[in-house]
Structure 1
Amino acid sequence: MLGYKILFITIVSFLVVTVSCSKENLEDTPPVVSEPNPDSEPNPEPEPNPAPVYTVDNITDTYFGIAGEENASQWGPYNVHDPSVIKVGETYYCYNTDVSFGSEVRPGIQIRKSQDLINWEFLGWAFNGLPSKGSSYIQSQGAEPFNSLWAPFVMQVGNEFRLYYSLSSDVGRLSAIGLATSSSPEGPWIEKDLVVTSAADGTVQTNAIDPSVVVTPNGEQWFYYGSAYDGIYKLRLDPATGLAVVNGDKGVRVAQRGFTNGTVNGNIEAPEVIYNENQGMYYMFIAYDWLETKYNVRVGRSVNPEGPFLDINGLDINTEADNAPMILAPYKFKDHSGWQGVSHPGVFKDGNGQYYMAHQGRPGENRFFMVLHVRKIHWTENGWPVVSPERYANVVQTEISEPDLVGNYEQILFGYRVVPGYADEQTSADFQFSVNLELMADGTINGEAINTWTYEAPWLTISLDNGETNYKLYVERGRDWENRIESTILFSGLDGNGTAIWGKKIMD
């Protein structure tokens, strides 16, 4: 894909800034010249603007006024792409790709922290420029690296924090993933070595970006990576070093995409693998499609970190097919521009067993803005993850009774349209739009007897067409971000084929 991710780093061409300035009589006005005063004190450096406190009420979809690097202290949840999140003590840390809406930005991996997953404080960068080992590798192949680092992954091993970074170039597949370590999640970070590299040659068709690591119950560490080309690869790490057990090992492929008439159905990248001890399974969350538009999240699972990872229909995700479930995709509730580019999942826990998924969201009104989204993950009774229809807002989870469910909802059923190709072909976000749904007090849906609902907390069962289609949906309280309602009722779930369904109750 020829280092496609650089596209959203320098995107000034689309951003038009209008400056009002009267040119009347300028030609007739003599210039004003100030003589220097040798006794005057130099002007002090301006103080940086203090970081705002972000709440659910002041986080916006766009952020024109603070997008540039000169306002980095105010970025908070903005300019976030490819997040990796870890909790240390009571603090969450987020590391992400070097991006800034509409402007160049320095390289180094951005770092933020939060106490509540809502108010994020920008801390700075992990590196002062590009790491030397990754740069040297690309230069040794006769190319220059991009001036940005992508898709980090962070983890803690004992008292050591490990930060994996991706560095690429404008030569397809000429990329490297390196490792840096620190005794603190805030750094300083010391570069160690390269974990895996790829090159534009005739060897294994990997692309060394987008790392992820899972630790097994017995302490083994498995490394997953890849974007486009031949798919997602895995290899084993040395837990003591965080580097490959076998130097130069490229690994073995574990996931790929389907094809239509010889053209790949879209990109596959950004594997995030976790081990859920309650399920006794390894879950691989994967990003499909073009990152500015159709970007969506698929999931496979396995009893073994080496795979095979199977989808909800029992199909090996390493076959030439697209897989289900698709648990998150571009969506649009009413009276809102919608969210596209909603993938590159970063999955993490809060220390109390609750899983979350972090990802970027690009507003429908302008796909180049990048806002950090965090969603709760819930697990179906047969062990598949689903995500909340709304971003996390720390809404109090009080009891929801059957009468509480009666009322009007916006429902989204996640269909999918295959558009083979990449950026040039996948120009549409392919939004999934909400439709009206009414849960009636008599147990019918929209007053139609063939469509019914029942409830046994926390599960809402929707039965359509006299039981031809059934959804079992997790019910919770959450914020209605689109309508700025502090608390409403949400539901999310899957049917037997892995089709996701969302809903939120419309409050009067």
Structure 2
Amino acid sequence: MKNEKLNILFRAFAVFVMLTLAACSSDSPTEETREETETPETPETPEEPEIPVASKFYTVDNINDTYADVAGIANVANWGPYNVHDPSVIKVGATYYCYNTDVSFGSEVRPGIQMRKSEDLINWEWIGWAFDGLPAKGAAFIKNKGAQPFQSLWAPYVMQVDNEFRLYYSLSSPTGRLSVMGLATSDSPEGPWIEKDLVVTSEPGGPLQTNAIDPSVVVTPAGEHWFYYGSAYDGIYQLKLDPSTGLAANSGDKGTRVAQRAFTNGIVNGNIEGPEVIYNEQQGKYYMFIAYDWLQTKYNVRVGRSDNPNGPYYDYNGLDINTEVDNGPMILAPYRFDGHSGWQGVSHPGIFKDDSGQYFMAHQGRPGENSFYMVLHIRKIHWTQDGWPIVSPERYAAVDKTEITSADLVGNYEQIILGYSVTPGYADEQRFPDFQNSIDLELKTDGSINDNANDVWFYDSPWLTLNFGDGAFIDKLHVERGRDWENKIESTILFSGLNNEGTAIWGKKIN
């Protein structure tokens, strides 16, 4: 069985540029090689590099699905929302900061964790790399185990603790499960970042099949810090941190498992990784957002919730997500509206909120026309009446909020039902994204749906209810105004929600 998500370098040709992609994990570990043991060196404070000046300002009208015109390291200042994978976002004052995996379409990967900032969640300004190469302690750990680390850092997580900013990183190797997560700190979200120490490590062998990749942290109302991580192998783990240091409360602690996947005929149903846990004060619960499946194709987002930071976390059907079951709800998956190539690889969620308490999800999107491009997507998160998160079917575009009446809802829509087909395996098996395609939907003036008088809709702002088959399927949908990105329409009506079986339902009005 393939053990770890294929990361390192994907090579393909796009038009006339060669693409090298370093993604977030590896699934083809090679045999270990032995080297002389190395001792970590105290890194010198790097000289401040000259930051290139951007010539492009991004708006909703000039963000494209592909970006060959600015691909490659020579155009790094103009990457903006492009070349983003595994984003972690934090708001500091009036500014949002994004940190992400080392990736590049059109040039060799430059390790160091990419950093961007934005005032509006649309135009992202490049501000450089967090590190000048690989962090010394993380690289030394892998070399001391007889392997060479990958020349890329993956899946950072950023947080602020009082006046200190903490940046967690992942570093792995071709040796299966030989990985490390470390911590760097700064007094500014723009750095400089100083590596402090290692938080969790993993290596082949041992009683726990952990994989030290994809860190995230939640802070409880009582001030406890809980750390979550994991990619493939034995699932998602959690352990307690020392809030004063950001390191493990008990040195060497690998934690305990809190989430795993199902098996089909003895084969793992793809990947589970990228946990992101938040505490929602209004709901009074902890929510774990998890990435399922292969990052380039079927990547999708699942959610579990708990009353406690260390679990158990339960899914929509009340099942513990730490059992051999594929859990729901699945609130984001590869999708395709009419007239568009679709978006795949839409996971590794980064959850954050603004000053008003509005939650957002950041993630990468890979266009169906060429899945090696990686574009930053930001979506609003809403909460169902029974406390489950749902995401907007369209990317955030700062569309004005105006009243939506029942009369406004009458008309034609493109609807997407986020279904799922089980395809056990990893990159070689999950070569197709399983796009969920839009279908036609019409809400009629008389309250019926399409041409069936037995299917009815009603509206109690902001919730739209679609009742099919006298209650066989009941969709509870949050209504809002948003941009139709596929048709370049500034404002239309969007809806998203769950039906009575926990399946996510999306839609946008097209007239």
Which aligned pairs between 1:134-283 and structure 2 lie closer than 5 A?
134-283=138-287
Residue by residue over 1:150-183, the C-alpha shift from the partner in whole angstroms, topping out at 9 and shown as x without a partner, is 0000000000000000000000000000000000
Choose from 374, 377, 385 the match for 1:381: 385
State the partner residue of 1:318. Answer: 322
> In terms of Rg, which structure is larger?
1
Describe the shift of the 1:374–1:318 C-alpha distance in structure 2 as closer, same or farther (beyond 3 A). Answer: same
Pairing partner for 1:83 from 68, 72, 87 = 87
Asked whether 1:130 is paired with 2:130, we answer: no
Q: Report the Cα distance in structure 1 between the residues aligned to 2:365 and 2:492, rounded to whole angstroms.
A: 22
What number of residue pairs does the alignment pair up?
Answer: 479
Q: Are the counterparts in 2 of residues 3 and 171 from structure 1 also a CA contact under 8 Å? A: no
Where in structure 2 are the equivalents of 1:337-376 lying within 5 Å?
337-376=341-380
Letter in 1 for 2:161: V
**CA–CA separation in structure 1 for the residues paired with 2:429 and 2:51:** 46
Shift of 1:15: 3.1
> Does 1:470 find its partner at 2:471?
no
CA contact (8 A) 2:54 2:125 kept: no
User: Is contact 1:228–1:269 with CA below 8 Å preserved after alignment?
Assistant: yes
Match of 1:63 among 67, 85, 98: 67
Contact 1:2 1:170 in 2 (8 A): no
Q: In structure 2, how many angstroms separate the alpha carbons of the residues matched to 1:183 and 1:139?
A: 30
What's 1:17 paired with? 16
The equivalent of 1:118 in structure 2 is: 122
Partner residue, 2:503: 499
Shift of 1:306: 0.6
Per-residue CA distance 1:239-259 (angstroms, 9 max, x = gap):
000000000000000000000
Instruction: Indicate if the aligned counterparts of 1:330 and 1:340 stay in contact, CA closer than 8 A.
Output: yes
Q: Which amino acid aligns with 2:336?
A: K
SS in 1 for 2:477: strand
Q: Which amino acid is 1:381 matched to?
A: Q
Contact 2:258/2:321 (<8 A) preserved: yes
Which stretch shows the higher mean deviation, 259-268 or 98-107? 98-107
With 446-455 and 340-349 compared, the bigger mean Cα shift is at 446-455
Instruction: Deviation per CA, 1:14-69: give whole Å up to 9, x if none.
Output: 335189xxxxxxxxxxxxxxxxxxxxxxxxxx995633110000000000121101
Q: For 2:72 and 2:345, locate their aligned partners in 1 and report how far apart those are by CA, in whole Å.
A: 21
Offset at 1:381?
0.3
Does residue 1:334 correspond to 2:338, yes or no?
Answer: yes
Residue aligning to 1:6: 7
CA distance in 2, matches of 1:232, 1:101: 30
The correspondence for 1:430, drawn from 425, 428, 434, is 434
Q: Deviations over 1:352-378 (max 9, x none)?
A: 110000000000000000000000000
The answer to whether the 8 Å contact 1:160/1:183 transfers is yes
SS class of match (1:4): coil
Say if 1:201 and 1:390 are closer, same or farther in 2 by CA, change over 3 A. same
State how far apart, in whole Å, the 2-side matches of 1:444 and 1:323 are: 33
Secondary structure of the structure 2 residue equivalent to 1:473: strand
Deviation at 1:341, TM superposition (A): 0.1
Provide, for residues 86-119 of structure 1, a one-character-per-residue CA deviation record: whole Å limited to 9, x for no partner: 0000000000000001321210000000000000
Contact kept? 1:302, 1:310, Cα under 8 Å: yes
Instruction: Provide the residue aligned with 1:308 in structure 2.
Output: 312
SS of the aligned residue for 1:356 comes to strand
- Match of 1:13, SS state, is strand
Checking the alignment, whether the CA contact within 8 Å between 2:6 and 2:427 is kept in structure 1 is no
Which residue in the other structure is 1:109 paired with? Answer: 113
Normalised by the length of structure 2, the TM-score is 0.92
Partner of 1:440: 444
* 1:301-342 Cα distance to aligned partner (Å, 9 max, x none): 000001000001000000000001000000000000000000
Question: By how many angstroms is 1:203 displaced?
Answer: 3.0
Looking at structure 2, the residues matched to 454 and 436 of structure 1 have their Cα atoms a distance apart, in angstroms, of 18
Q: What is the alpha-carbon distance in structure 2 between the residues aligned to residue 65 and residue 11 of structure 1?
A: 20
Change (3 A) 1:238 1:14: same
Q: 1:450: how far off?
A: 1.3
Q: Judge conservation of contact 2:114–2:130 (CA < 8 Å) in 1.
A: yes
Q: Secondary structure at the match of 1:6?
A: coil
Q: Given the superposition, is the C-alpha separation of residues 48 and 182 from structure 1 closer, same or farther in structure 2, using an over 3 Å criterion?
A: closer
Structure 2 CA distance, aligned partners of 1:18 and 1:144?
28
Check conservation: 2:3, 2:233, Cα contact below 8 A.
no
Residues 252-296 of structure 1, C-alpha deviations (whole Å, 9 max, x = no match): 000000000000011000000000000000000000000000000
Q: How far off is 1:414 after superposition?
A: 0.9
The residue aligned with 1:29 is: none
Query: Any conservation in 2 of the 1:286–1:299 contact (CA below 8 Å)?
Result: yes
1:3 and 1:170 in contact (8 A); partners too: no
In the other structure, the counterpart of 2:422 is: 418
**Structure 2 runs not aligned, ≥5 long:** 19-49
SS of aligned partner of 1:138? helix
SS state at 2:7 partner: helix
Partner residue, 1:40? none
